[in-house]
Chain A
């Protein structure tokens, strides 16, 4: 890079003002253009991802209008019959609506409240381990269950909770307690779902925090040790603030995503007794949408849009709260 360019790449208001002001009324706009031109390399980098997101995300979003139409193949996205909010009304008036919302929100919230901090605790705890083989083994083992498919995982859960042959039954009998049929209690359903989820995914979720912990300057720890800080103090005053920005961001993302619980595991753990607690939006969409013998993509899209609106609200609230707390926010 040429030496003469070096000065101009520094984005200092003082320099720009000296060069381009005072000017006419639209100086603000021209000033913006100048700033944009100076950052042309950044825009060049962004061009490809932008093109990508427009083609594969925004163009399909135009297709979400089928939520307001009665989609048929012949009519397609643009010419199927316009039905306004009929699909939404049908959903709001459906018998299951209240139950679906309550179940989805409570299960999602439970998962968020428990599932969010645990990987952080695991990562902080792993980070303190100095025995290298033990640390590596632990990381590997906690990461591995992530690869067990949902079908098998559910099979495993049912097997372990089986009141006659399961390991839980063996434990309770050994302790002289009566065996409990855990799966027949609707009130236990969310706990079973959430804790097995944590069991399966906490190691994988901890990876990002482990990576974040590596970027903390060791000098900070060294200085703290010199000052006589204990390990716990260092965790609270160095490690946690160090991963806080990532954690906050993940929290906001989780808020945007917690309505998407994923139907497969919920569905597989369902039985007629716990269905009052286990029917959620995603299982419902699956049942009336993809797995339904009648073709009704408009309805499924309408429910999807509804979920999007809820997610948007969640994110806006989360982002606002984070901002108020003085943390780095999404926008």
Chain B
């Protein structure tokens, strides 16, 4: 590897060592102001959601919560963890997210890497073969019938395999690999006697760490939020992911107008629903939010290319 030197590389010199010019300082200040404005605008709904989840339901219904919690309470969280299905749903979702995203990332790379190679005969045709299903699909019923015929309906595999490869992510991966990995590297590797698979493992993957991280994140988020696929392909409650469980909990507390109960009970249920609405978002989002810092580690500029240099 030591022979691989990037073209145009000079002596490393930290950018922060260089004194900013006056224009640059103005730009930096403007940039910070711009980002601070965005921060405030986006922070608001987040704080609202968080505050509402800790507020009394009455305050939420009558619109008293604007920024900070009103009549703070933890009932929303207490109640949501009282549902026996919640933990099971979380564990299921964790499984789907980890296994499903891993399968997806592997499958995406298996398809993307060959399609970045200009010396692959039929590359253009194969790219179109992979791209076409993004535009056309058979719709729900034909899809369901295929999944059933391969025996995956009502199994864990139903959420992992049938939608494992996203064409969108595949195209992004191809494009990313093409731009971030120079052709010179490939030529050098060939001279070093590296096979096609060896090149993928030894050169491409280490160089594309940030991409792997992003892909995993994108797939993981999609898996974690998966709802419709489970509705369509699974009926066994043992397999239900978190989003299905949360939806059931929220529907459960809707008031049935055809059969009105005692007002007191109804009040309890209405209040509970309002509170669960917000606490459930917090409960459902925290795990994926925690994932982000792990991905963030790979977003340091120049990390990937610098790593294999000299």
Touch test A–B (CB under 8 Å): yes
Q: B-contacting residues of A (Cβ < 8 Å)?
A: 1, 3, 5-6, 9-11, 32, 35-36, 39, 41-46, 48-50, 52-53, 55-64, 66, 71, 77, 122, 125-130, 134, 136-149, 152-153, 155-156, 159, 162, 165, 167, 170, 199, 203-204, 207-208, 210-223, 225, 230-232, 242, 245-246, 248-250, 253, 256-257, 290, 297, 300-301, 304-305, 308, 311-312, 315, 328, 330-331
A207 touches B133 (CB 8 A): no
- Minimal Cβ-Cβ distance residue in A for B300: A214
Answer yes or no: B111 CB below 8 A from chain A CBs: yes
Answer yes or no: B211 CB below 8 A from chain A CBs: yes
A149 touches B127 (CB 8 A): no
What residues on B are CB-neighbors of A136 within 8 Å?
293, 296
A5 touches B302 (CB 8 A): no
- Minimal Cβ-Cβ distance residue in A for B13: A222
What residues on B are CB-neighbors of A52 within 8 Å?
107, 161, 164-165
State which of A9, A152, A218 has its C-beta within 8 Å of the C-beta of B195: A9
16 contacts between A and B (CB under 8 A): A55-B146, A59-B138, A60-B142, A60-B146, A141-B39, A162-B63, A210-B299, A212-B176, A214-B210, A218-B12, A218-B306, A221-B15, A223-B8, A225-B15, A246-B172, A297-B140
State which of B41, B49, B136, B305 has its C-beta within 8 Å of the C-beta of A156: B49
B130 touches A63 (CB 8 A): no
- Minimal Cβ-Cβ distance residue in B for A148: B281
B306 touches A208 (CB 8 A): no
Least Cβ distance of A151 to chain B in Å?
8
B111 touches A1 (CB 8 A): no
Answer yes or no: B74 CB below 8 A from chain A CBs: no
B130 touches A53 (CB 8 A): yes
B10 touches A223 (CB 8 A): yes
Please, how many angstroms separate the alpha-carbon atoms of A99 and B166 in the complex? 31
Please, how many angstroms separate the alpha-carbon atoms of A136 and B297 in the complex? 10
- Minimal Cβ-Cβ distance residue in B for A63: B142
What residues on B are CB-neighbors of A149 within 8 Å?
281, 284
Stretch with Cβ within 8 A of A (4 or more), from B79-87, B89-97, B113-121, B252-260: B113-121
Least Cβ distance of B210 to chain A in Å?
4
Least Cβ distance of A213 to chain B in Å?
6
Please, how many angstroms separate the alpha-carbon atoms of A61 and B130 in the complex? 13
A215 touches B8 (CB 8 A): no
What residues on A are CB-neighbors of B263 within 8 Å?
none
Please, how many angstroms separate the alpha-carbon atoms of A10 and B12 in the complex? 33
Please, how many angstroms separate the alpha-carbon atoms of A149 and B124 in the complex? 38
B193 touches A3 (CB 8 A): yes
What residues on B are CB-neighbors of A257 within 8 Å?
134, 168
State which of B134, B137, B172, B210 has its C-beta within 8 Å of the C-beta of A304: B137
B24 touches A211 (CB 8 A): no
Least Cβ distance of A108 to chain B in Å?
14
Least Cβ distance of B13 to chain A in Å?
6
Known: A128-B27, A134-B35, A146-B221. 18 other contacts (CB 8 A): A41-B197, A42-B196, A50-B129, A53-B129, A53-B165, A56-B146, A60-B137, A64-B137, A64-B138, A128-B31, A137-B39, A141-B39, A147-B281, A215-B180, A222-B12, A222-B15, A249-B172, A312-B135
B305 touches A218 (CB 8 A): yes
State which of A71, A141, A152, A290 has its C-beta within 8 Å of the C-beta of B281: A152
Please, how many angstroms separate the alpha-carbon atoms of A311 and B164 in the complex? 23
**Interface SS of chain A: helix, strand, loop or mixed?**
helix
Q: Kindly name the residue among B140, B197, B303 whose own CB sees the greatest number of chain A CB atoms within 10 A.
A: B140
Per-position 1/0 for B188-210, Cβ under 8 A of A: 00110111111010000001001
Least Cβ distance of B307 to chain A in Å?
11
Q: A-contacting residues of B (Cβ < 8 Å)?
A: 6, 8-10, 12-13, 15-16, 18, 20-21, 23-24, 27-28, 31-32, 34-35, 38-39, 41-43, 45-46, 48-49, 63, 66, 107-108, 110-111, 113-115, 117, 119-122, 124, 126-131, 133-143, 145-147, 150, 161-165, 168, 171-172, 174-176, 178-180, 187, 190-191, 193-198, 200, 207, 210-211, 213-214, 217-218, 221, 225, 277-278, 281, 284-285, 288-289, 292-293, 295-296, 298-306
B42 touches A203 (CB 8 A): yes
State which of A41, A63, A242, A312 has its C-beta within 8 Å of the C-beta of B145: A63
B195 touches A41 (CB 8 A): yes
What residues on A are CB-neighbors of B111 within 8 Å?
45-46, 49-50
What residues on B are CB-neighbors of A39 within 8 Å?
114, 117, 119-121, 196
Please, how many angstroms separate the alpha-carbon atoms of A231 and B289 in the complex? 32
Give the 10 A-B CB pairs with smallest separation, nearest first. A63-B142, A60-B138, A49-B111, A218-B302, A215-B180, A63-B138, A57-B133, A41-B196, A147-B285, A42-B114
